[in-house]
Amino acid sequence: MPRALLPKHIISSLDLDRREVDTIFDMADEYEKKGRVSKELSGKVIALAFFEPSTRTKNSFESAVKRLGASTIGFSSSEGTSVEKGETIADTVRMLEGYSDMIIIRHKFDGTAKFASEVSHVPIINAGDGKHEHPTQSIIDLYTVRKIKGHIEGLNFCVLGDLKYGRAVNSLLRLLTKFKPGKVFLVSPQQLKLREEVKSTLNYPVIETSSLQDVIGETDVLYVTRIQKERFADEVEFEKVKESYKVDLKAVEMMKRDSIILHPLPRVNEIDRKVDKTPQAKYFYQASLGVQVRMAIIKYLFGGLK
Amino acid sequence: MSDKELLVTKIREGTVIDHIPAGRALAVLRVLGINGSEGYRVALVMNVESKKMVRKDIVKISGRTVDEKESNLITLIAPNATINIIKDYDVTKKMKMKVPSVIEGLLRCPNPSCITNNDPEAFTNFLTVSESPLLLKCSYCETIIDEMQVVKQVL
């Protein structure tokens, strides 16, 4: 197939250029104005291949597909599918591409979406592959920032929590390479620092620290992620770090008045529930924007620029 | 016959790979897919004195030439090796070697969660991100491996 005719996939945040991200943001704004209802993709069928369980991502993609007038097929875990009978990922993708016009895929293995894109003749959207990437989440994240702050350039970002295994973090930091952020602070326990292979793909300097207190006052966007207990060999060690990465009212008091707190969710205990009522807490608003952004992403891959 | 002559006896047709880092001759043979069952006469010299390298390995293979792709793969474990193609006891070609930009299939991704370790159709594909020091990146999960990991895997 000639290059120009190959479908465009979204596997990594790095697959999109600035113009494309801005287009998706503008399209998401348009969908919001239209009440998030459109029939542009009527007759299309989109496969949701969720080999790994998901609540938010799957439901918001499903809602986005239906609001675009398309319908869905697929599954929400490997259970009960032919994968359980030993079918390879490649064969599952081949089957789905025959039945659908696009495949949205989530899998626990790193690199699955890229592999699927090499097998598939229809566009692939990566809805999370292991600890690798979750690009559509990062588009929602920065869309939220643009909605609230009006711009992304020059803002100081602080990314907090598990930076080693968090795929949303990787995608966010990579999407920020398309903008010119101010300072970017990475706050994590020593054992959960950002992996070198991700850091080496960034085009801006990062400031790594293990103390949130040191940087929270300078932060415009605080991006909180869950510190995953299962990553710690020693539970005592986890208990020690757990509290130091908790965003509570005391931490919010140290923040600028117009700063915002985002979280890709699900949240466990890393943000105190009392923080939910503060003006900085924007994580539920962020989640609510998921549908219009995913509508824009899907439509963009079907030729949104025309 | 001196020790030196014994070690560097000329071959009539084939390939001489010199200046291999000491101890990596077997890895070079692995890269070439030679395990002895092919029937080639192979001379393998390890840990001999070298002016440039102090100690080095040499591999001589009778009746087999090495192509450009194989030469490039050898740079992964023996970056300063020289490869000479021999005909009638003379060097007829000195292979120009270049670290390959893509390495398909030869290596394994050390990340157990990488798709290449979990689907029979997903073959490894590494991209060279740095030639010196050698750093290769898995094009699926982006795990980076260095020269020592490459040598360990090949051996």
Closest partner residue to B119 among A115, A197, A200, by Cβ?
A115
B 108-147: CB under 8 A from A: 111, 113-116, 118-122, 129, 137-144
Q: Choose, out of A78, A114, A115, A165, the residue to mutate when testing the contact with B (most B CBs < 10 Å).
A: A115
Helices (H), chain A: 18-33, 56-67, 89-99, 112-119, 135-149, 167-175, 196-199, 213-216, 235-244, 249-253, 283-288, 290-301
Q: In chain A, list all ranges with CATH 3.40.50.1370.
A: 3-133+289-301, 135-287
- Domain B3-94 coded CATH 3.30.70.140: yes
CATH of B102-154, one of 3.40.47.10, 2.40.110.20, 2.30.30.20, 2.40.10.10: 2.30.30.20
Q: Which residues of A252-285 are buried (b: 16+ CB within 10 A; e: fewer)?
A: beebeeebbbbbbbebeebbbeebeeeebbbbee
The answer on pLDDT for A18 being more than 80 is yes
For residue A195, give the chain B residue with the closest CA.
B143
- Min Cα–Cα distance to chain A from B136, Å: 11
- Min Cα–Cα distance to chain A from B142, Å: 7
Tell me the C-alpha distance between A37 and A66, whole Å: 9
User: What percentage of chain A has pLDDT greater than the value 90?
Assistant: 79
The answer on pLDDT for A268 being more than 90 is no
Clarify whether A56 is annotated catalytic: yes
Clarify whether A151 is annotated catalytic: no
Clarify whether A72 is annotated catalytic: no
> ipTM score of the complex?
0.91
Mean pLDDT across the stretch A47-76?
94
Q: What is the pLDDT of residue A2?
A: 42
Q: Which two tokens stand for residue A259?
A: 């700063």
Q: Which CATH superfamily is domain A3-133+289-301 in?
A: Aspartate/ornithine carbamoyltransferase (3.40.50.1370)
Question: Class of A135-287 per CATH?
Answer: alpha beta
* CA nearest to A58, candidates A104, A16, A93, A94: A104
Domain spans in chain B, listed from the N-terminal domain onward: 3-94, 102-154
DSSP A218-260: T-SEEEE----GGG-S-HHHHHHHHHHT-B-HHHHHTS-TT-E
Q: What is the pLDDT of residues A246-261, one digit of tens each?
A: 899 999 999 999 999 9
Say if the Cβ atoms of B141 and A132 lie within 8 Å: yes
Q: What is the CA radius of gyration of chain B?
A: 17
Helices (H), B32-146: 68-74
Clarify whether A219 is annotated catalytic: no
Q: What is the pLDDT of residues A147-203, one digit of tens each?
A: 999 999 999 999 999 999 999 999 999 999 999 999 999 999 888 999 999 999 999
* CA nearest to A295, candidates A69, A21, A15, A9: A69
In three-state secondary structure terms, B43 is strand
